[in-house]
Amino acid sequence: MRSIPTMNNLVAAALMCTTAVFAACGEADVEADAAPVVSVALTFVAPGEGAQFVADQVGVDGDLVAKIPVQLSVTGSPAKVVLTRGGRIVGSADANGVGSIEVAQAGEEALIAVAYDAANAPVASDEVVVVVKEPVVANCRANLDLYKIPYTVGPAMQGVPDPVTMPTPINGIEYRYVESTTRRTKIVADCNLVLSLLRAAPALRARNVVEVADIGIYNYRCIGGGVPPGCTLSQHAQAKAIDIAGVTDRDGVYYNVTTDWVIDPDGQKTCEAPTVPGKDTFLHEMICAIKANRVWNIVLTPNFNSAHRDHFHVDLTPGSDTINKQHRTSALPLGND
């Protein structure tokens, strides 16, 4: 005689099937109840499209930057979220989509957020255009004030429009007259040159440079020599130029422009020519990076002529923008040397 299942037996059988995660009830049921895969997506909440910021705060590297807070709306669980601008990684966002970046270079450019999975593959992205502007200040000294570094005005110097005195180190960089064994305790120059030294410091420190050896800053003379008046003043006469003989890194290694710079062949641009690995490459990359950052208007390297074989001449000639090579057969206008 066949037994008839009671209601309690049916309920118990159903519970057993559930408890066993449908192991005895068919694989199709297991697949139907599997957790759905959550895709990753992200969207900028802030900054908004076209948001504008001013580079008027001191960043972690000592440069003036725009500090930009970032908020993303994130769906799913990316392994990481990276923020890029101009092809460079500038920051990251946490699991809640919160981050921040520092931007020194003024301009209008896309800020891109990219989410990656555990295999380091990009799975989602979003972007907004962000505008960074230079600070608008009344004069050079107001620019110095943004760095929050003490300085004094003066002393008066013949030919120098706006002399200031700033104690060293300048933004982390020491200075030494090349023939001296002791470091300078201060830099006395036109305000604009001091400002340029502040701006050059991040690129120097990024290469572990701790000290600059210089041939000099102020020399009241004409271009090419001679005593004013009746000539065009050198930028040195206005304390708006410095001649860099070499640099020392944190390991005590000295990079000597005279002996370590290999003159580039004719017909090849200074910042594009192949270099000799080691100190020559270091010096080329350093001076070209600083020029690319628009720190100095004119840069003359040993490529230019024999008078510059032992130093980099850098100055602030108004309206100029060049890093010059040799010109053995022509005399081009090159600004104030």
pLDDT higher at 32 or 204: 204
- pLDDT at site 232: 82
3-state secondary structure of 2: coil
- pLDDT at site 135: 94
How far is it, in rounded angstroms, from Cα 159 to Cα 145?
24
Give the pTM.
0.78
How far is it, in rounded angstroms, from Cα 327 to Cα 129?
42
pLDDT, tens digit (0-9, with 9 covering 90-100), for 256-296: 999 999 999 888 889 999 999 999 999 999 999 998 888 89
Tell me the Cα Rg of the chain: 31
How far is it, in rounded angstroms, from Cα 282 to Cα 128?
36
Largest CA distance in the chain: 131
Q: Where are the alpha helices (DSSP H) in 240-278?
A: 257-260
Cis ω before 229 (30° cut-off from 0)? yes
Across 47-146, the runs of DSSP E, i.e. the strands, are 51-54, 57-58, 64-75, 80-85, 88-93, 98-103, 107-116, 122-133
Which domains, ranges and CATH numbers included, belong to the chain?
1-34 (no CATH), 41-133 (2.60.40.10), 140-324 (no CATH)
Mean pLDDT of 131-137: 95
Other Cβ atoms closer than 10 A to 324: 21
Cβ atoms of residues 197 and 290 within 8 Å: no
pLDDT, tens digit (0-9, with 9 covering 90-100), for 177-226: 999 999 999 999 999 999 999 999 999 999 999 999 999 999 999 887 78
How far is it, in rounded angstroms, from Cα 57 to Cα 135?
9
The alpha carbon of residue 196 and the mean position of all alpha carbons in its chain are separated, in whole angstroms, by 15
